[in-house]
Amino acid sequence: MNDEKSIERKSGVTRKERDCLITVRQNSSRQFPIRLCEIARLMGVKPPSSLEIVGRLEGKGLVKSRNGMVKLTAQGQRECDRIILNHRVFESLFVQSGIPVEDACRETGSFDYFLDRGTVEAVLQKIGNPEVCPHGRPIKSSSGKGAT
Ligand SMILES: [Zn+2]
């Protein structure tokens, strides 16, 4: 079985699409979209790849692109909120377990996009419902810049 495909079925996005969404979230706003070539640079991929990833995200209704400028849709914002919440909860768990913050952050990025809501809520309760993640960013009200 193709792992990437089964994860996509469960989460709605692939790892590359997740990275692209987070990149757009961190580097754009409703008024100021991000350029496609800037996405490619930040993700460390070639422009044709970023074009393809953005095309897939657009097909899923998560981003809108026009004249090479990309921004999140409302649905894309919600998907980022979900991923970032998952990220901050598991990152906190890892750090509480003694894992250095940067390792916790990197490792969490590899699975934060395909976790069930119930799992994340259970872990959040278990670790004592902290208000902020190890980077000091809010866990429950994950609005704002949305760095992971
Ligand atoms: Zn992080």
Give the whole-number percent of the chain exceeding pLDDT 70: 88
pLDDT mean across residues, the chain:
90
pLDDT tens figures, 63-98: 999 999 999 999 999 999 999 999 999 999 999 999
Quote the pTM value.
0.88
Q: Is residue 91 part of a domain?
A: yes
Mark whether 14 and 46 lie in a shared domain.
yes
Q: Residue 144's pLDDT band (boundaries 50, 70, 90)?
A: very low
Mark whether 52 and 104 lie in a shared domain.
no
Look at residues 24, 42, 72 and tell me which one is the last residue of a structural domain: 72
Q: For 70, which DSSP code?
A: E
What is the extent of the structural domain holding 146?
A: 84-148
Q: 137 C-alpha to center of ligand 1: Å?
A: 9
Provide the domain count of the chain.
2
Q: 67 C-alpha to center of ligand 1: Å?
A: 31
The encoded tokens of residue 125 equal 């309760």
Strand locations in the chain (E):
34-35, 63-66, 69-72
Give the whole-number percent of the chain exceeding pLDDT 90: 80
Q: Residue 9's pLDDT band (boundaries 50, 70, 90)?
A: low
